[in-house]
C-alpha cells in the first residue's frame, strides 16, 4: 500500500525501477506515475523521470511523464521532457497543448499548435489521419477557441469518424460563443444522423445552453432524459440542473434539487449563493456562504457580485476589504464587481482609490473591468477620465454599455448637449440597440430628449416611444409628435 514517496523509493530504489522496466516493460512505471498524480507527489514523478531518463526515446513513457507533470502543476518540467524527446507523436502535442491551454498560457499553446500543424497535421491530412478522433477533436477545440467557428465546423463535417467527444466539443464551443440555440440544434441533429447517445458531458453542456437561451421546455426534457438514462446522478449534471432551474425556474426547484443531492461540491454550494442572490434573498446567500464546507475565490466573487446586484454597496465594499485583508485570491471578476460597487457609491475619493488599486495590481485589463471603470468614472463626476477611456476604446469592438454609461454621465453632470450629440451619433451608427437608446434616453430630461427625436427616423421614434413606456415624459413626447410632422424632422 502506497503511503508516501519515501515508502515507494524505499521499497523500489531507482536501480530496481530500472530493472522493473527491463523485466516488465512500461506497466509498473505507468502505475507509479499514476500514483504520483493521485497523491499529488511531484517528487515521485521526478524519481520516475530519473529512472526512465535513458528511455526517453520511448514515446509512450515520455507522454505519460508529460501528462503527469501537467496534472501536478509543473508545466515547465513537462515542456522540458517534450523538448528532449527524440520522437514526438500526436499524443505528445495533444497533452502539452491542452495542458498549456488549461493554464491560460495561450501563446505557448498556439505556438505548439502551429508547430504541430507543420510537423504532424499536414502529414496527417495527407495520410487521411484526420480519422483519428483525438487529433480532430483537439484541432476543433483550438479553432473554436480562436473564434474560428466556421473552420471548426468544416473540420467537424469532414471527419470520417466522430466520437461522442467530437459532438461534445462542437456543442461546448458553440455555448462558449453564446450560440445556445445552435448548440441545441446541432446535438438534436446528432441524435438523428449518427446513432450516438448523449452522455453526462452532453447533458451538462446542453443544460447550460438551455439556461442561456431560456429554453425552458428543452431543459425540462433534458432533465427527463437524465432521469431515464441514469446520468442524473452525475455531479456535473446535477450542478448544471441547478443552474438551469436557477434561470428558468424558481428558488423552490433549486432547493429541492440541492437537498436531495447526496454529494455536493464547491460548485453546488456556489450555485446556491448565486441562486439566493438572484432572487434577492441576500441573507440566505450569506448564510450559505458561511455554511460552505469548502469555499474558494469564485464563491466569494458570487457573494460580492450578489451584494452589488442587490444594491448592498457598503456590504460589498466591506467584503472586498475582508478579502484583501485575509489574502483571499482576487481575480478580474472580483475587481469588476468592486469597481461597479464604487460606481453605485458615487464617491470620487473612493473611486480614485479603487482605480489606483486596479492599475497597481495590474490584472490584465479586459472588457468587463474597463467597462466597469468607465461606468464608475461617469458616476463619480470624473467625466474627463471617462472621456479619455471612451476615446481610447478600440472602435472595432464597439461596446454599447460604454456608450450608455457616458451618455448617462453627461446627462447626470449637467452637460445635456454632449449627451444629446453622442446619443444621436450612437443611434445613427447603430452602435446602440433600441433598448439601449431607451435606457440612455431615460437619463435625459424630457426637453433634451425632444431635441434628440428630430434626428431620428420615424420608425425608430415610434419604437422608442413603445420602449419608453412608462416614461414620465411620454405624454409631452406624444404631443410633440402630434404637433410637428415627422417628415419635417427627418
Partner DNA sequence: ATAGGGTTAG
Report the site for DNA in 298-317 (rule: CB under 7 A).
298-299, 301-302, 305, 308-309
Q: Give the helix, strand, coil percentages of the chain, each rounded to 5.
A: 75, 0, 25
Of 275, 329, 338, 353, which Cα lies nearest the Cα of 305? Answer: 338
**Quick check: 400 binds DNA (CB under 7 A)?**
yes
Cβ-based nearer residue to DNA, 241 or 480: 241
The number of beta carbons lying within 10 Å of the beta carbon of residue 30 is 16
Residue with cell 521499497: 11
Q: Using the rule CB under 7 A, give the single segment among 73-81, 111-119, 129-137, 248-256 that binds DNA.
A: 129-137
Q: How far is the CB of 301 from DNA (least distance, A)?
A: 3
Contact with DNA (CB under 7 A) among 52, 179, 240, 386: 240
For every residue of 128-140, DSSP letters joined together read TGGGSHHHHHHHH
Long-range contacts of 250-254 (CB under 8 A, 24+ apart): 250/279, 251/275, 251/276, 251/279, 251/281
Cα–Cα distances (Å) from 173 to 149, 166, 178, 182, in that order, read: 8, 11, 9, 11
C-beta closer to DNA: residue 8 or 95: 95
Scan residues 264-283 and list those touching DNA (CB under 7 A).
265-268, 270-271, 274
* Least CB distance to DNA at residue 484 (A): 28
Residue list 337-396, contact with DNA (CB under 7 A): 337, 340, 343, 366-369, 371-372, 375
Binding characters for DNA, 170-199, by CB under 7 A (x = yes):
--x--x-----------------------x
Q: What is the dihedral of CA 53, 57, 61, 62, to 10 degrees?
A: 80
CA angle, 442 then 448 then 454, to 5°: 105
Taking residue 485's Cβ as centre, other Cβ atoms within 10 Å add up to 10
Looking at residue 231, the DSSP 8-state letter turns out to be G
The verdict on 31 binding DNA (CB under 7 A) reads no
Under the binding rule (CB under 7 A), the answer on residue 284 touching DNA is: no
| Under rule CB under 7 A, residue 210 binds DNA | no
CB of 296 to DNA, least distance (A): 5
Residue 66 CB, nearest approach to DNA (Å): 8
Q: Mark the segment that binds DNA (CB under 7 A) among 79-87, 290-298, 386-394, 416-424.
A: 290-298
Contact with DNA (CB under 7 A): which of 42, 151, 235, 255? 235
In 3D space, the residue among 328, 143, 363, 286 whose CA is nearest the CA of residue 339 turns out to be 363
166 binds DNA (CB under 7 A): yes
The region of 16-24, 215-223, 320-328, 400-408 touching DNA under the rule CB under 7 A is 400-408
- Contact positions with DNA (CB under 7 A) in 421-450: 432-433, 435-436, 439
- Binding flag, residue 139, DNA (CB under 7 A): no
Comparing CA positions, the residue from 296, 246, 287, 231 lying closest to residue 267 is 296
**Site of grid cell 477557441:** 145
Q: How far is the CB of 479 from DNA (least distance, A)?
A: 28
Q: How far apart are CA 288 and CA 236, in angstroms?
A: 20
**Contact region with DNA (CB under 7 A), list: 5-13, 88-96, 104-112, 282-290:** 88-96
Amino acid at each position: 500500500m502506497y503511503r508516501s514517496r519515501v515508502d515507494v523509493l524505499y521499497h523500489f530504489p531507482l536501480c530496481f525501477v530500472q530493472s522493473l522496466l527491463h523485466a516488465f516493460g512500461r506497466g509498473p512505471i505507468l502505475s507509479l506515475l499514476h500514483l504520483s498524480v493521485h497523491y499529488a507527489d511531484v517528487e515521485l514523478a521526478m524519481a520516475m523521470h530519473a529512472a526512465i531518463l535513458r528511455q526517453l526515446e520511448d514515446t509512450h513513457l515520455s507522454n505519460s511523464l508529460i501528462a503527469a507533470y501537467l496534472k501536478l502543476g509543473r508545466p515547465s518540467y513537462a515542456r522540458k521532457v517534450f523538448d528532449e524527446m527524440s520522437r514526438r507523436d500526436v499524443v505528445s502535442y495533444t497533452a502539452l497543448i491542452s495542458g498549456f491551454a488549461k493554464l491560460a498560457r495561450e501563446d505557448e499553446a498556439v505556438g505548439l499548435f502551429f508547430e504541430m500543424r507543420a510537423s504532424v497535421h499536414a502529414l496527417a491530412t495527407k495520410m487521411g489521419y484526420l480519422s483519428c478522433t483525438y487529433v480532430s477533436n483537439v484541432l476543433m477545440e483550438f479553432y473554436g477557441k480562436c473564434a474560428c467557428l466556421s473552420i471548426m465546423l468544416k473540420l467537424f463535417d469532414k471527419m470520417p469518424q466522430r466520437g461522442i467527444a467530437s459532438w461534445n466539443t462542437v456543442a461546448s464551443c458553440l455555448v462558449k460563443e453564446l450560440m445556445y440555440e445552435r448548440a441545441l440544434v446541432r446535438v438534436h441533429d446528432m441524435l438523428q444522423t449518427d446513432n450516438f447517445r448523449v452522455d453526462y458531458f452532453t447533458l451538462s453542456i446542453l443544460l447550460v445552453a438551455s439556461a442561456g437561451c431560456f429554453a425552458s421546455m428543452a431543459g425540462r426534457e433534458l432533465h427527463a432524459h437524465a432521469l431515464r438514462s441514469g446520468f442524473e446522478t452525475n455531479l456535473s449534471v446535477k450542478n448544471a440542473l441547478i443552474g438551469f432551474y436557477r434561470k428558468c425556474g424558481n428558488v423552490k426547484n433549486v432547493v429541492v434539487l440541492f437537498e436531495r443531492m447526496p454529494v455536493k461540491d464547491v460548485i453546488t454550494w456556489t450555485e446556491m449563493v448565486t441562486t439566493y442572490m438572484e432572487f434577492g434573498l441576500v441573507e440566505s446567500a450569506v448564510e450559505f456562504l458561511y455554511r460552505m464546507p469548502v469555499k474558494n475565490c469564485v464563491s466569494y466573487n458570487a457573494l460580492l457580485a450578489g451584494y452589488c446586484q442587490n444594491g448592498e454597496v457598503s456590504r460589498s465594499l466591506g467584503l472586498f476589504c475582508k478579502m484583501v485583508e485575509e489574502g483571499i485570491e482576487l481575480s478580474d471578476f472580483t475587481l469588476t464587481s468592486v469597481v461597479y460597487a464604487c460606481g453605485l457609491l458615487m464617491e470620487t475619493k473612493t473611486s480614485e482609490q479603487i482605480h489606483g488599486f486596479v492599475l497597481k495590481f495590474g490584472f490584465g485589463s479586459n472588457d468587463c473591468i474597463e467597462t466597469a471603470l468607465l461606468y464608475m468614472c461617469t458616476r463619480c463626476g470624473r467625466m474627463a477620465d471617462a472621456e479619455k477611456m471612451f476615446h481610447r476604446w478600440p472602435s472595432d469592438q464597439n461596446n454599447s454599455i460604454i456608450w450608455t454609461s457616458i451618455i448617462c454621465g453627461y446627462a447626470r453632470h449637467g452637460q445635456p448637449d454632449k449627451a444629446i450629440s453622442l446619443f444621436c451619433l450612437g443611434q445613427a451608427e447603430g452602435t446602440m440597440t433600441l433598448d439601449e437608446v431607451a435606457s440612455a434616453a431615460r437619463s435625459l430630461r424630457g426637453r433634451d430628449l425632444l431635441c434628440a427625436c428630430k434626428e431620428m427616423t420615424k420608425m425608430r421614434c415610434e419604437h422608442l416611444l413603445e420602449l419608453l413606456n412608462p416614461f414620465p415624459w411620454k405624454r409631452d413626447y406624444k404631443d410633440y409628435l402630434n404637433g410637428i410632422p415627422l417628415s419635417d424632422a427627418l
